[in-house]
Structures are given as C-alpha cells and as structure tokens.
Structure 1
Amino acid sequence: MRAVVYDGQGITLGAAPEPVPGDGQALVDVRAVSLNFTDVAHLDPATPPGTVLGLDAAGVVRRAAADGSGPQAGARVVTFGWGRGAWAEVRAADTEHLAVLPDGVGFAEAAALPAAGVTALRALRQLGPVVGRRVLVTGASGGVGRFAVQLAALAGAYVVAAVGSPERGAGLRELGAREVVADLPDVTAPVFGVLENVGGALLGEAFALLEPGGSLQSIGAASGQPSTLDLESARRAGGGKRVEVFMVGTPDTGFGPDLAHLTALLADGRLDPQIGWRGPWERVREAADALLGRRVAGKAVLDVTAGE
C-alpha cells in the first residue's frame, strides 16, 4: 500500500506493508488525514526508515474488530492512534480511539479533529467551569488554538485570543473570540484561565495575567524556547495561581467519546474544523513546510488517493 513514511531524513509518500490488526482494532480504508505540528516538527532521527507516520485519519471500516468492539464494516469513522500509522491507505485503528461519523460530516472535516480537537477540549475541562469568565488562548491561530477559541466560547467563556501578528488573527472573532491581541500587554484585565500553546517568554507573560485562583494549562511549546516564571511577582500579586503541564491522556485513555462529541458539534454546525490548507497527499511535503512555516491558519488536511 502507499503511505507517508519517514525516509531517514524527512517525510515522503512511499510504500509500506498493510497493517495486521489486533483483536481490538478495526481495519480502516483511509480517505483523509490531518497534519499536526508535532507530526512534522519533532521527527525522531532514530525512527526506523519506512515507519508510517501520523496520528489522525478518517475513512471507512473495511473489517470490524475481531473482539466485537467498535463499528461494523462499512461504517464511516474518524480515528486516532498513539503509535502513528495514520497516513496510509489502510490503518489498523484501536476501537477505543475512534468514533462513527454523523451524516453530513465529511472525511476531511473529521480528520482535522482528533489530536487538536481533543487536546483543546480536555485542556478546557482542566480549567473548570468557565461560564462568564475570561479565558486567554495563546497561539490561537493554530490548530489547537482555533478549536480552543470555539470550545471555550461554546462553554460560555469571554475568550481573549492571542496571536503572533494581526494577520494571524483573521477570523477569530467569527469563531467566538471577544478580543484578539497580537501582544499580551494589550490584555488589560486579569483572566481566569489560560490555554497556552506557545511556551518560551510568552508563558511567563500569560501566567502574570492570571487572577488569584486561576490556572494556566501548558499545552505545547510551539516557540521551541524554554519557559521561565517570575514566582515572586506572583506571590506579591496575591498568589494562588497554578501552572499545570497538560497531557491529553495516555494510551489507555480512549478518544472515542470525545471524538463523538466533537463530530456531533460539527454535524450541528456549532464547530468549524478550520481547514487552512487542503490538497492531495502527494503534496505532503508542501503541507508540512507550510505548517512549519506558520503559513496555515488552523489545520492542514490531505486527501488520500488510491494508487498502484
């Protein structure tokens, strides 16, 4: 089968053997996949050449799981996998990490959801009830950030979206942001919670904006820079602030229920997948370069086309 693999230096569209599913895995014919920043920015040089990459994929169940779990053959599904393997014509998907697609939800839209959408959803939950409270989302123009803005607004929060430049803020008010800022000094009132995607110096600036009792979820470090905190200033300001290193889960934390929730929001028109780049998977390197170059507003999605 064709697949996007690691070739020893980077990613390429090549060939790989079809996966052999375990008892709790469905065999899925993949129709669309999405790229996450971590998929292309943090490739381990020790990864064996020929490894099939990717976390997120949507398609049609070819063969149901042998243990009877999950949907039957012919079901349209969205899938996630901790161990890569998504960017291929066929995927063996753990049934606890997939959800059946509602009518009207396309494969490309669904493929944009798993890693970014579930990350945003679970990080928001860590803040606690946010109705009527100010929530700051940094890196709001990215994949996780655009989902976080929408989900926080749906939860009743007053959303402040922080972006790297005014141009990157385009469309965020339409997604539910009440304020869009390119510099954190432009945030003039404290916030109850922060969904922080950038790291580096920005994390410390965002932490300083927390009100007493507020919390910051450190989701990622897209800046690639180490973060520092001025804890003494925080004590003088009243203390009681929290920083949590957010983890979306562990391999035994099923994505299925959250994916079902997110796809239902898509079907109802209450969530937009924010696909900022889409093309055939033959253009995977172009998509990866655009993502790394911060030229994608939201998600990059590849349509999987059958080949020899």
Structure 2
Amino acid sequence: MRVVEVTAFGGPEVLSMARRPEPEAGQVPGKVRVRLKAAGITIADIRIRAGLYVDQMGDLRPPFVLGTDFAGRLLDPAPGPGGTLPAGTRVAGTVPWYTDLTGQGTYAEVIWADPEWLAPVPDDVDFTAAASVPLAALTAQHGIEQLDLPPGAVLLVTGASGVVGRFMVQLASAAGLRVIAVAYEGDESELKVLGAKECVPRGEPLEVLRQVREHVPDGVDGIFDGALLGTVAMAVLKDRGVFVSIAPDRVPVSERDIRVEFDRAMPDAVRLKGILEKVAERELITRVADVMPLEEAAEAHRRAESGHRPGRIVLMI
C-alpha cells in the first residue's frame, strides 16, 4: 500500500511516498483495519516532522508515517458506541500517535485501529469533513473541561482562526463563557457568528495583549492558547486563573496561583460520535481549507505552514 514517510526531521521536503505491506485481517489482536478515504493534517504533524518533539518520542526515529485524524470504511466488523459496526461502515477517529509511538500514522491507505477510536460518520457528513474533526474537536472539548470555568467567566482564545480554536469558540460560547478571540483580520464576523463576543487581530504579542486589556481591564479568567503564545500571554490572566496550552513545549511556569495545563486529547469513540452528530446537525461547524491527494503531502504541509488558511487541509487517499 502507499504511505507517506518522514525520511528525516526537517521541512516539508522530508516527506516521501513509499510502499509498505498492507495489513491483513487478524494480524494484530484487538485491532481492526480501516481503508482510509481522507486524513487531516494537524499542527502536531507539522511539529513532529520538524523535529520539535524529538525528546517526547522515545526511541522512535525516521522513517515513520505521520497522521492522527482519519475517515474511511471499516474492513472488519468492530464493536462501537451503540453496537457492532459492520464491515463497510463509514468511520472516523484519531490515532493516539504520542502514546502509541509506533510510527504508523494515517498518511496511508489502510491502518490498524482500536475500536475505541472509531465513531460512525453520519450520512450527512462527507469523508473530508469527518477527517477535519476528531483531534481538533476532542482537544477543544477536553480543553473546556480542563478550564472548568463558570458561566459568565471571560476566556481568551488565541489562535481562534485555527481548527481547534474555532471549535473552542463554539464550545465555550455554548458553555456560557464570554469569549475574546485572537484571530486573523477578516475572520471577525465569522467568529462572532460562532460565538465570540469580541475579536482582537492577531499580531505582535504585546500589542495583542494591549488590545485584550481594552476589552477587559481587570484581565481574563482563563486562556486557551491555540496560537502558542506561551508565557507572554500570562500578563492578561487574573491571579488564580487557568491557562491551557495545546503544545507541551509551550506550557508556562505557574505564577500567581495560576493553574497551567497541557491539553492532550485522547481518542474517545462515544464523545466523537456525539460531536459528529452535532456537525451533521450544523450545531458545530467545521471547515476544510484544501483537499489534496496523498502524493502531494509535502505541498500540503507547505501550505499549512505558509500562513492564514482557515480550516483543515485534508489528504484524499
């Protein structure tokens, strides 16, 4: 089968097409095969490829296959939320790449999947949209729980234009929080439709924080740091507030009794099933920025790193 391998740590040019044996039924006890139709490109993929997480990867070194988010069809029946999922079922999920550290990701035609990763995809959600959802939405949902803020509290969401940030804006608004979104210029109207009360244009961090203070002179109750501002953002956080980062290397040191957390979402079939149902009902909005063939994974990474591309870039397989 075709896969895309990381041949060395570096830029997008280190991604290369390769062939590996296709999994056969029953080879891995407890896991089932999924023939993929789409795989989402996440910021984690980009940072792993660049070598930013080497210290957290144990002995795993190139060549390996990137990728966490996927959508496709089951090749084997699997237990699922609500009952058995027969072969042929449209499913989506996310691979716990960091905990498994097998180097077998979703930039591939067929993967092994634990049934606990798999949620059925509603008929009204296509494969590309389904592949844009799992890790981002689960990260945002997990982040809401880590923040644990009461209704009416003020939450600063950096990186609100991104896939995770957009889900966080929606979920935080639904939880009754006052959301201040740091986003690219031009995204303000859309983010306000999604639930943001105020928007601040992305830019030099100190200027961003100055503008945040104009909206909340006393500071915010919580920060969800999707843009990875890190320590500098703590200046607008109240004493005893909470700071949640989506990257382990950008979690600041606690000060002023501020609780700091790293948001690493894990696969959750039951929760993902509910999220996909909300996407089907338009209660949660996802966005796909580009759809590109697997063979163009390197170009897809270049586009993802080049700047403002609202939504997930998805590889078609």
Q: TM-score range by the shorter chain?
A: 0.7 to 0.9
Q: Where does residue 226 of structure 2 map in the other structure?
A: 197
Percent of pairs with identical residues: 33
Q: Where does residue 75 of structure 1 map in the other structure?
A: 89
Q: Where does residue 18 of structure 1 map in the other structure?
A: 22
Q: Where does residue 33 of structure 1 map in the other structure?
A: 39
CA distance in 2, matches of 1:166, 1:37: 21
- The reply on whether 1:150 has 2:185 as its aligned counterpart is no
For residue 65 of structure 1, report the CA deviation from its aligned partner. 4.4
> 1:218-233 alignment to 2 at 5 Å?
218-220=245-247, 231=255
Q: Where does residue 181 of structure 1 map in the other structure?
A: 200
CA distance in 1, matches of 2:6, 2:20: 11
CA distance in 1, matches of 2:301, 2:44: 11
For residue 227 of structure 1, report the CA deviation from its aligned partner. 6.9
CA distance in 2, matches of 1:161, 1:283: 32
Paired residue type of 2:156? L
CA distance in 1, matches of 2:311, 2:32: 29
For residue 216 of structure 1, report the CA deviation from its aligned partner. 0.9
Q: Where does residue 205 of structure 2 map in the other structure?
A: none
Q: Where does residue 261 of structure 2 map in the other structure?
A: 244
For residue 77 of structure 1, report the CA deviation from its aligned partner. 0.3
Deviations 1:190-224 (A, max 9, x none): 2222111233xx33343232234421112227xx8
Paired residue type of 2:94? F
Q: Give the unaligned 5+ runs of structure 1.
A: 235-239
CA distance in 1, matches of 2:128, 2:31: 22
Q: Where does residue 92 of structure 1 map in the other structure?
A: 112
Distance 1:211 1:270, change over 3 A: same
Q: Describe the SS at the equivalent of 2:173.
A: helix
Instruction: Give 1:48's match in structure 2, choosing from 55, 58, 62.
Output: 62
Instruction: Give 2:307's match in structure 1, choosing from 276, 294, 298.
Output: 294
CA distance in 1, matches of 2:35, 2:306: 31
Q: Give the unaligned 5+ runs of structure 2.
A: 55-59, 98-103, 202-207
Q: Describe the SS at the equivalent of 1:59.
A: strand
CA distance in 1, matches of 2:235, 2:191: 24
1:23 touches 1:65 (CA, 8 Å); kept in 2?
no
Q: Where does residue 277 of structure 1 map in the other structure?
A: 290
Distance 1:40 1:112, change over 3 A: same
> 1:125-136 alignment to 2 at 5 Å?
125-136=145-156
Distance 1:269 1:229, change over 3 A: same
Deviations 1:133-164 (A, max 9, x none): 2111111122211221122122222111113x
Q: Where does residue 61 of structure 1 map in the other structure?
A: 74
Equivalences, count:
285
For residue 228 of structure 1, report the CA deviation from its aligned partner. 5.8
Q: Describe the SS at the equivalent of 1:174.
A: helix
Instruction: Give 1:172's match in structure 2, choosing from 191, 201, 204.
Output: 191
Q: Describe the SS at the equivalent of 1:172.
A: helix
- Which protein has the bigger helix share? 2
Q: TM-score, normalised by structure 2?
A: 0.81
Q: Where does residue 275 of structure 2 map in the other structure?
A: 262
CA distance in 2, matches of 1:118, 1:230: 25
Q: TM-score, normalised by structure 1?
A: 0.83
CA distance in 2, matches of 1:227, 1:118: 19
- The reply on whether 1:107 has 2:127 as its aligned counterpart is yes
Q: Describe the SS at the equivalent of 2:107.
A: coil
Q: Describe the SS at the equivalent of 2:130.
A: helix
For residue 167 of structure 1, report the CA deviation from its aligned partner. 4.4
Deviations 1:230-272 (A, max 9, x none): 94xx4xxxxx4322233324xxxx4212211210110110111
Q: Describe the SS at the equivalent of 2:197.
A: strand
CA distance in 1, matches of 2:252, 2:124: 46
- The reply on whether 1:7 has 2:21 as its aligned counterpart is no
Q: Where does residue 100 of structure 2 map in the other structure?
A: none
- Between stretches 266-275 and 21-30, larger displacement belongs to 21-30
Paired residue type of 1:203? G
Q: Where does residue 237 of structure 1 map in the other structure?
A: none
CA distance in 1, matches of 2:109, 2:77: 17
1:2 touches 1:14 (CA, 8 Å); kept in 2?
yes
- Between stretches 279-288 and 33-42, larger displacement belongs to 279-288
